[in-house]
Structure 1
Amino acid sequence: MYKLIDYTSAISGGAFLTDFKASLAMIALEVWFIASLFNYYTILIDENFIVKKIHFIILGILVLLLSYFTFDNNGIWKDYIKKFDQLPERVNKKGSIFFYAIIIFIIGNFILSLYLLYEIRKN
């Protein structure tokens, strides 16, 4: 994730708030993944399930805590970035393909869950 944000920052004129942007992108992916789970729960188990305000609050707190402890709390992830940068280019390319596949899967899964939820609610 950091490499993607770093690359786009270099294109757009600088690495301003790169850490923040990487953290925000991870939060977005987590929210889309959790929203997909809620949608599939509604589709497969309980068609009358409605996400309540308390669900948003609890999940928001959990996502922010996860983001804080994985990105913002300590600089361990920066050590991982340095280690990945030292790997051979072939290994980094495989890792990048795997990473992009996960991102595409999460976004595609979220879109599919919205479509299926729409079809269920339409009928």
Structure 2
Amino acid sequence: MKFIKKSYYYFFYKIYRSIEYTSELSGGKFLTFYKAGLVMLALEAWIFFSLLAYYKIYTKISIQLLISMPIVYIPAIIIYVFNYFTLDYKDNWRQFNAEFANYSKRKNRIGGWIVFGIILLIVSNLIFSFYLMSQIDWSQYR
């Protein structure tokens, strides 16, 4: 469990550092923590959307999703609360960021490639799930 927690914070750290770096290049780093948090929320939401798309493909049930439906707002609330308690509450991320900043350059470079690979996997998985949904003729299913 500790490994998963530390991995999550490292994932956030690499996103935070990359946003901090690109913000410096483009004229100023402000609200970096919130930008990184937004990226984390987006990636988690994309994972949820992928799972939902695969569910629709597997069951062949065509459903319209609205924000007022429990299948949408309950996971959204869970994701938001999870991020709040892991990142915002008591600023736990700061101590982990300080720890990860002390890692060797080689270790951080390898970790950066792993994080980039995971992000690429999440995005490509979402695109692939939407592609598979587009291949189904939904007119014959309810």
TM-score normalised by structure 2 residue count: 0.80
* 85-94 or 48-57, which deviates more: 48-57
The Cα of 1:2 is off from its aligned counterpart by 1.0
Q: Aligned residue for 1:71?
A: 87
**Inter-partner Cα distance in structure 1 for 2:117 and 2:43:** 13
SS in 1 for 2:56: helix
2:54 and 2:129 in contact (8 A); partners too: yes
The Cα of 1:120 is off from its aligned counterpart by 1.4
SS in 1 for 2:135: helix
**Inter-partner Cα distance in structure 1 for 2:109 and 2:39:** 21
**Structural mapping, 1:1-123, within 5 Å:** 1-44=15-58, 46-50=59-63, 51=65, 53-121=69-137
2:19 and 2:36 in contact (8 A); partners too: yes
The Cα of 1:122 is off from its aligned counterpart by 6.0
SS in 2 for 1:82: helix
Q: Deviation string for 1:2-22 (max 9, x for gaps)?
A: 112111211221111111101
Q: Deviation string for 1:21-70 (max 9, x for gaps)?
A: 010000000000000000011112x1114245221111111111011112
**Inter-partner Cα distance in structure 1 for 2:23 and 2:36:** 11
SS in 1 for 2:90: coil
Q: Aligned residue for 2:7?
A: none
**Inter-partner Cα distance in structure 2 for 1:101 and 1:111:** 15
Q: Which amino acid aligns with 1:113?
A: S
The Cα of 1:74 is off from its aligned counterpart by 2.0
Give the aligned CA root-mean-square deviation in angstroms: 1.5
CA change 1:62–1:49 in 2 (3 A) is farther
Q: Which amino acid aligns with 1:22?
A: A
The alignment of Structure 1 onto Structure 2 pairs a total of residues equal to: 122
